[in-house]
Amino acid sequence: MVRLENLKFGYSGTGFRLRFPEFTLDEDERVAIVGPSGSGKTTLLNLIAGILSPESGLIDVDGVNVAELSDAERRRFRASTIGFVFQDFALLDYLSARQNILYPYRITPALKLDAAARDRAEALAVACGIGDKLDRHPTALSQGEQQRVAICRALVTQPKLILSDEATGNLDPASKERILDLLFAQAAEAGAAVLAVTHDHELLPRFERVLDFAQFHEGVG
Ligand code: ADP
Ligand code: MG
């Protein structure tokens, strides 16, 4: 599902460098990423999603060389293939929770907003425990509720690759387990791979592999 080769990246004007000689994520694999703050975990997810471009090296996602796509193609590819739970949620305050969840359909004409998609949004929200809050705006939701909206938005398109950046960070222990259950159930149903940054060490045994990030970066940001 994901293949990285000789990946190199640096933010201009900073000493931070990310080097990734080799990494493969299989189609139905679930891999956790751990590592200290500032070690480049979010940067790697952004590279895989095509939000950032590498200096050199290969990023292959579902057989597509992400770097070779135009900006428009990359956005389309991302919307149809990848579900991304952002570390800061990235919800839009002027939209309700429901509209936020269905946002990928709004910006991607290739995705069809039909009754099935609306039903999926509803079912995901119920499974996440926010079924009764779909008409609220993010400003009227707690951090944990906003996080669940972000998770529903990442899953509603049934992506083949789920990238999750500390998606369980703001939740209580029982909710963490429940959200991970949901993430994994969705992934199993859609045959999706999961790459999840997490600081929740108690969740690590549930992943097939753990990638420790401490070794992949140099310098400080
Ligand atoms: P992590 O997710 O592991 O905490 P990040 O990938 O967010 O780490 O950041 C890695 C390093 O890159 C940090 O030193 C951070 O300060 C720096 N960094 C992150 N985003 C930017 C940016 N847009 N411009 C410059 N430096 C950045
Ligand atoms: Mg991060």
SS3 percent helix, strand, coil of the chain, rounded to 5, is 40, 25, 35
pTM, entire model: 0.93
Mean pLDDT of 171-196: 89
Neighbours of 53 (CB within 10 A): 12
Residue 15, phi then psi, degrees to nearest 5 = -85, 0
Say if CB 109 and CB 80 are below 8 A apart.
Answer: no
Q: Determine if ligand 1 sits within 6 Å of the CB of residue 10.
A: no
**How does residue 216 score in pLDDT terms, banded at 50, 70 and 90?**
low
pLDDT at residue 215 greater than cutoff 80:
no
Q: Give the pair of three-digit tokens for residue 118.
A: 């609306």
Neighbours of 1 (CB within 10 A): 21
**How does residue 170 score in pLDDT terms, banded at 50, 70 and 90?**
confident
List beta partners, residue 83.
Answer: 162
pLDDT of residue 34: 95
Mean pLDDT of 75-87: 91
Say if CB 82 and CB 159 are below 8 A apart.
Answer: yes
For atom 5 of ligand 1, the residue with the nearest CA is: 40
pLDDT of residue 88: 86
Say if CB 105 and CB 115 are below 8 A apart.
Answer: no
Q: Which atom of ligand 1 is nearest to the CA of 37?
A: 4
**Whole-number average pLDDT of the chain:** 91
Strands 2-10 and 17-25: antiparallel
d(CA 86, CA 187): 17
pLDDT of residue 15: 86
- 160 DSSP assignment: S
* 3 state DSSP class of 45: helix
Q: Give the pair of three-digit tokens for residue 109.
A: 């004409």
pLDDT at residue 218 greater than cutoff 80:
no
Mean pLDDT of 162-170: 89
Q: What distance, in Å, lies between the first and last C-alpha atoms of the chain?
A: 30
Domains annotated for the chain, with CATH where assigned, are 2-13+30-218 (3.40.50.300)
Mean pLDDT of 125-145: 95
pLDDT of residue 155: 94
Q: State the burial class of residue 9 (Cβ atoms within 10 Å of its Cβ: 0-12, 13-18, 19+).
A: buried
Mean pLDDT of 63-75: 91
pLDDT of residue 217: 61
Mean pLDDT of 25-37: 94
pLDDT at residue 220 greater than cutoff 50:
no
Q: Determine if ligand 1 sits within 6 Å of the CB of residue 46.
A: no
- Name 216's Cβ contacts closer than 8 Å, sequence gap at least 6: 18, 19, 20, 35, 39, 40, 44
Q: What percent of the chain has pLDDT over 70?
A: 97
Name the residue of 19, 33, 39 whose CB sits within 8 Å of the most ligand 1 atoms, as the mutation to test its pocket: 39
List beta partners, residue 209.
Answer: 31
**How does residue 221 score in pLDDT terms, banded at 50, 70 and 90?**
very low
**How does residue 175 score in pLDDT terms, banded at 50, 70 and 90?**
confident
List beta partners, residue 5.
Answer: 22, 58
